[in-house]
Amino acid sequence: MSEDDERQQSPPSDLEFVSNKARNCNATGSGSGHPEFQSTYPDQVLENVLENVLHFLTSRRDRNAASLVCKSWYRVEALTRSELFIGNCYAVSPGRATARFTRVKALHLKGKPRFADFNLMPPDWGAHFNPWALAMAKAYPWLEKVHLKRMSVTDDDLATLAELFLGFKELVLVCCDGFGTSGLAIFVSKCRQLKVLDLIESEVSDDETDWISCFPEGESNLESLIFDCVECHINFEALDRLVARSPSLKKLKLNRYVSIGQLYRLMVRAPQLTHLGTGSFSPSDIAGQGDQEPDYVAAFAACRSLVCLSGFREIIPDYLPAIYPVCANLTSLNFSYANITAEQLKPIISKCHKLQTFWVLDSICDEGLQAVAATCKDLRELRVFPVDPREDNDGPVSEVGLQAISEGCRKLQSILYFCQRMTNAAVIAMSKNCPDLVVFRLCIMGRHRPDPVTGEPMDDGFGAIVMNCKKLTRLAVSGLLTDKAFDYIGQHGKLVRTLSVAFAGDSDMALKYVLEGCPQLQKLEIRDSPFGDAALRSGLHHYYNMRFLWMSSCRLTRHGCQEIARAMPRLVVEVIRSADEEEMDDVVGTLYMYRSLEGPRTDAPKFVTIL
């Protein structure tokens, strides 16, 4: 891609290829834009003014739009973009990104597609951070912040970040893997300006290194330390000392190896915390602190700024009342690792009037959800996870819980709900009661399960959601679904950007409805549904506007995918084999395709064939 060739498709900033209309609007030179501005104003002044103005533009979508106005704006926007977001690390190479954006301070990169979380992709598929780390080291030595999601990060990469970026301040790793405690040790020991180290749902290997002890002595700038996903013992005394010398610490999320007694000590040290992950929330096996239990209630009461509470990894419910003092101020509560009953939940939730985000296990049953609905009138996000993630006839939560939530929590914007059974009526009720819904993800765990009351498919329920929830951008469907459900989505889901489909639909028509009807569709992930090559063809007009398409265990054939690859040169079409599949099978196990400026990647493993 040459930046000088104006006739060529506009370089996508966020890899969002523009529609035909926008492309044709590109003006030609830098000085020729505005007739009112005669050549009395030197171009450089204009650019300086523009630069100052564009500094204020933060939204990346606004920036992408600005960069398309003309070459001058393109250039200046590139100079003023300080936060670089790349939604698919393979859509653009590190070299290309660093060439265009020269003053980046923060990098946000995403790697593997979401279905990789569920073992649907063999390990070592890719998404390596390493080439990016090296490129950044050369191009942005002043880099301060890196945020990675679903990337493979090695210990060496962590060392690179700490050693080559002197002012590095913030590292956030979400759903990443490939590194261990020894990498963390190097990272924290060398990163003297560190403010944020957030390890979220990442896999950290236990190299038996005491990384907590590696934080440098003296006052630390730490504002956030999140390590609840790290499955190894930590040196508590070192952690205690670290917290004691981190006066700016606001967010602390402990792993399950921290006992409630240890939690107490940390809370006493840091009553200024706003976000707390409590660790195990049970006593250590070897009690040895003294004969009396510490006053946990007082410790919580002292944390007047606490708004976000999580953890409870090995909860002993007897200790729950300790959190009463903070309930009234909580805006976010995560009980999704706490196997508690409705009776145990009620005294807590009845005090949480300000709650906006609530994650919980279905152990609280419909009754627990009713209690939530009764109190949490400000609830925006609800996630209900299953204690027993297997397909079954009976489950503790059902349409009763969903109905109750829809009636009590009218401001709901985002819901993720796992259940064994659901009725269209309850889903329709939610579509009407909660018009602000932006994210609706319903997982009826029994595959192909119809409405148990009417025997009908779940088409009408999901149809009502796309019809009534006008702000909906993310949808995950489940249960017995015919092509009709997808017809509804295509007709009404005009703002849908992310769609997840599993074990649904009857024929190619379903996929066609969606590909032809949803202009904002960016991410489409489909598994085990009867969609074939014809359906795939129906999306040719749209694939350049999407971040990716994932289809596994559908009815695609190799030659069908080849056709797509030939028709669309800027699309990388990966066919991923599972261990026992033959390379020359015509049947495609998994298709993962995405737009890219770089063509086929060079780091693809053997089980990936790029067509």
| Binding positions for other proteins, rule: CB under 8 A | 115, 117-120, 175, 201, 203, 229, 256, 285-288, 291, 313-314, 316, 336-337, 339, 361, 385-391, 393, 418, 443, 445-450, 452, 454-457, 480, 500, 502-503, 527-528, 530, 553-557, 578, 580, 585, 587-589
Strand 224-226 vs strand 332-335: parallel, antiparallel, or unpaired? unpaired
* Cα separation values, 178 from 78, 114, 153, 160, 175, Å: 32, 17, 5, 15, 11
Asked if residues 382 and 356 have their Cβ atoms less than 8 Å apart, the reply is no
Least Å distance between CB 106 and other proteins? 26
Q: How many CB atoms lie within 10 A of CB 447?
A: 13
Q: How many CB atoms lie within 10 A of CB 528?
A: 15
* Smaller CB separation from other proteins, 486 or 503: 503
* Smaller CB separation from other proteins, 318 or 603: 318
Residue type at position 460? D
Q: Report the distance separating Cα 182 and Cα 158, nearest Å.
A: 10
Burial status of residue 254 (CB atoms within 10 A of its CB: 0-12, 13-18, 19 or more): buried
* Smaller CB separation from other proteins, 117 or 237: 117
Least Å distance between CB 296 and other proteins? 18
* Smaller CB separation from other proteins, 18 or 402: 402
Where helices occur in 81-143 by DSSP H, the ranges are 94-100, 130-139
* Smaller CB separation from other proteins, 105 or 577: 577
* Smaller CB separation from other proteins, 107 or 575: 575
Closest by Cα among 184, 227, 191, 224 to 207? 184
Least Å distance between CB 515 and other proteins? 19
Closest by Cα among 529, 568, 524 to 546? 524
Least Å distance between CB 587 and other proteins? 4
Which residues face 525 on adjacent strands? 500, 550
Least Å distance between CB 53 and other proteins? 43
Q: Report the distance separating Cα 318 and Cα 295, nearest Å.
A: 14
* Smaller CB separation from other proteins, 56 or 118: 118
Least Å distance between CB 290 and other proteins? 11
* Smaller CB separation from other proteins, 351 or 555: 555
Q: What is the dihedral of CA 378, 381, 387, 388, to 10 degrees?
A: 130
Least Å distance between CB 606 and other proteins? 18
Closest by Cα among 366, 299, 360, 300 to 332? 360
Least Å distance between CB 224 and other proteins? 21
First-to-final CA distance of the chain? 21
Least Å distance between CB 450 and other proteins? 4
* Smaller CB separation from other proteins, 217 or 580: 580
Least Å distance between CB 279 and other proteins? 13
Least Å distance between CB 389 and other proteins? 5
Location of structure tokens 């995560």:
334
Tokens of 37: 């501005």
Asked if residues 479 and 448 have their Cβ atoms less than 8 Å apart, the reply is yes
* Smaller CB separation from other proteins, 67 or 423: 423
Least Å distance between CB 359 and other proteins? 11
* Smaller CB separation from other proteins, 390 or 606: 390
Strand 439-444 vs strand 251-254: parallel, antiparallel, or unpaired? unpaired
* Smaller CB separation from other proteins, 205 or 491: 205
Instruction: Specify the 3-state DSSP secondary structure of 128.
Output: strand
* Smaller CB separation from other proteins, 16 or 228: 228
Where helices occur in 421-532 by DSSP H, the ranges are 424-433, 459-468, 483-492, 508-517
Angle at 151 between CA 198 and CA 275, to 5 degrees: 15
* Smaller CB separation from other proteins, 76 or 481: 481
Asked if residues 17 and 595 have their Cβ atoms less than 8 Å apart, the reply is yes
Q: How many CB atoms lie within 10 A of CB 585?
A: 12
Location of structure tokens 């840091």:
270
* Smaller CB separation from other proteins, 475 or 554: 554
Buried b (16+ CB within 10 A) or exposed e, 235-246: ebeebebbbeeb
Least Å distance between CB 302 and other proteins? 28
Question: What DSSP designation does 283 have?
Answer: -
Least Å distance between CB 455 and other proteins? 3
Least Å distance between CB 236 and other proteins? 15
Where helices occur in 165-305 by DSSP H, the ranges are 181-190, 236-244, 260-269, 296-302
For 491, what's the count of Cα atoms within 13 Å in the CB-facing half-sphere?
A: 12
Asked if residues 523 and 546 have their Cβ atoms less than 8 Å apart, the reply is yes
Radius of gyration of the chain (CA): 26
